[in-house]
Amino acid sequence: MVKVSLDLEEGLHKAIRKKAIDKGVTMKAHIIELIEKGKRVEETEGIEKAEE
């Protein structure tokens, strides 16, 4: 594991925090989920471009 620090604008922090609370997860879990989802999207886009 690697520890990461992020400097976020207050509005973004509040939005992420609210979404995490709404989902019943920690901010850490929610941020990791968002990163993993973005990574899957990038991988899918790469596959689609390779098929063209």
Residue 48 pLDDT exceeds 80: no
pLDDT of residue 40: 86
Q: Is 39 contained in some domain?
A: yes
DSSP H stretches of helix in 1-52: 10-23, 27-51
- Which band of pLDDT confidence, cut at 50, 70 and 90, is reported for residue 51? low
Q: Is 42 contained in some domain?
A: yes
* Residue 31 token pair: 């941020």
Question: Are 27 and 17 spatial neighbours (Cβ–Cβ below 8 Å)?
Answer: yes
- Which band of pLDDT confidence, cut at 50, 70 and 90, is reported for residue 30? very high
List own/partner pairs for 27-31 with CB under 8 A and 24 or more apart: 31/6
How many structural domains is the chain composed of? 1
pLDDT of residue 41: 85
* Domain extent for 41: 28-52
Q: Is 23 contained in some domain?
A: no
Average pLDDT of the residues of the chain: 90
CA distance 27 to 43: 24
Q: Is 12 contained in some domain?
A: no
Q: Is 11 contained in some domain?
A: no
- Which band of pLDDT confidence, cut at 50, 70 and 90, is reported for residue 17? very high
pLDDT of residue 49: 65
Cβ-based neighbour number of residue 30 at 10 Å? 19
